[in-house]
Structure 1
Amino acid sequence: MNAYRLKPVRFPWPPFLYAVAIVAAFALGHLVRLPLPGRSVLILVGGLVLMAGMLLDLSALKTLITAKTTVMPHKAASHLITTGPYRITRNPIYVGYTLSTVGIGLILGNPWFVVAAIAAALVTDIVVVRREEMHLLARFGIKYESYCRQTRRWI
């Protein structure tokens, strides 16, 4: 049997990767200060970006729970989900994590969060998303291929 059919990864990497990115951004912000102009505008925009990320994440989780499939990235998917935010992106939870990390950085006036969010998204893509895609292809075949042709991986 195809190993990817059983489960995509052994460890739930995305939350861990984004947590490391946030800690790194805090540390870099203390070591190398990069001031951002327009503080009040950044707080407002950051709040909106953070809320958008959180709403996208919660909407994706609700969609998975409603469909009775796993929300954990290291568990096997029981259903191919193509509704809700999954109509827009194949990875709404990771997009939500990325937006939330950027939003926190804008609120705090710490541009390292933007760098950290991009780095976490890139590592997530390499370490997790590619394996998840192979898992979904092994489990759902042509239905997943069709979904991939219609829906972008990120945005």
Structure 2
Amino acid sequence: MTKDLGPAVRFPPPLLFVAGLGTGVMIDRYGQLPPLWPATPAVEVVGALLGVLGLAIVYTGILTFRRFRTAIYPNRPAKLVVDSGIYAFTRNPMYLGMSVFYAGGVLILHSLGALVQFPIVLVVLHVHVIAREERHLWQRFPQEYAAYCARVRRWI
């Protein structure tokens, strides 16, 4: 019997978002890109609110996984398909939350480079993380995961 390695994601997904923001800021600085918008208190507040909302969504997903005692890290096998709590509304609340947080970071940093990096972050996330996780869940829980996918969207 072979050991279930789970989705076998090779890096922590939050690093992808940090790398996107960091690379974007470096592009701004070294590419001498102008800020996307002027620094105003309204932009700062909206950015901060998005950051807080994003973190709240991430932590809600983590707490829900902990309540069901299943793997939070995408390099470990899932024990079950969690379909309640925030997972009744989105199949990827942690990645949704990280994306909302990233958007807040773009606003706070006034970063055109980070905005340009965002689609790249999402494509890499999909190919190297989400697709692997979904493949793992389809293989491990074919009927249950199919029913879940029919009920709940990937993002929102």
Q: TM-score higher than 0.5 here?
A: yes
1:72 is aligned to: 73
Q: Is the 8 A contact 1:98 1:118 kept in 2?
A: no
Distance 1:105 1:39 in 2: 14
Q: Is the CA contact (8 Å cut-off) linking 1:136 and 1:144 kept in structure 2?
A: yes
59-68 vs 28-37, which moves further: 28-37
Tell me the TM-score normalized by structure 2.
Answer: 0.89
How do residues 103-118 of structure 1 correspond to structure 2 at under 5 angstroms? Answer: 103-118=104-119
Change (3 A) 1:10 1:52: closer
From the superposition, tell whether residues 75 and 43 of structure 1 become closer, same or farther in structure 2 (CA, over 3 Å).
Answer: same
Shift of 1:2: 8.7
Q: CA deviation at 1:19?
A: 2.2
Moved more, 40-49 or 59-68: 40-49
Structure 2 residue aligned with 1:23: 22
Q: TM-score, normalised by structure 1?
A: 0.90
TM-superposed deviation, 1:28: 1.1
The answer for the alignment partner of 1:8 in structure 2 is: 7
Structure 1 moving runs of 4+ over 3 Å:
none
Over aligned residues, Cα RMSD in angstroms? Answer: 1.9
Deviations 1:88-108 (A, max 9, x none): 111111111111111011012
User: Share of identical aligned residues, percent?
Assistant: 29
Find out whether 1:82 has 2:83 as its counterpart: yes
Q: Which residue identity is paired with 2:33?
A: R
The alpha-carbon distance between structure 1 residues 84 and 2, as it changes in their structure 2 partners (threshold 3 A), is farther
Is the contact made by 1:13 and 1:124 (CA closer than 8 Å) also made in structure 2? no
Instruction: Give the total of aligned pairs.
Output: 154
Contact 1:52 1:96 in 2 (8 A): yes
Higher helix residue share:
1
Equivalences for residues 1-150 of structure 1 within 5 A: 6-31=5-30, 32-35=32-35, 36-37=37-38, 39-150=40-151
Is the CA contact 1:29–1:112 (under 8 Å) kept in the aligned structure 2?
yes
Question: Partners of 2:10 and 2:110 in 1: how far apart?
Answer: 32
Q: 1:114 to 1:83 in 2, by over 3 A?
A: farther
- Greater shift in the superposed pair: 25-34 or 62-71: 25-34
Q: Unmatched 5+ residue regions in structure 2?
A: none
Structure 1 letter corresponding to 2:86? P
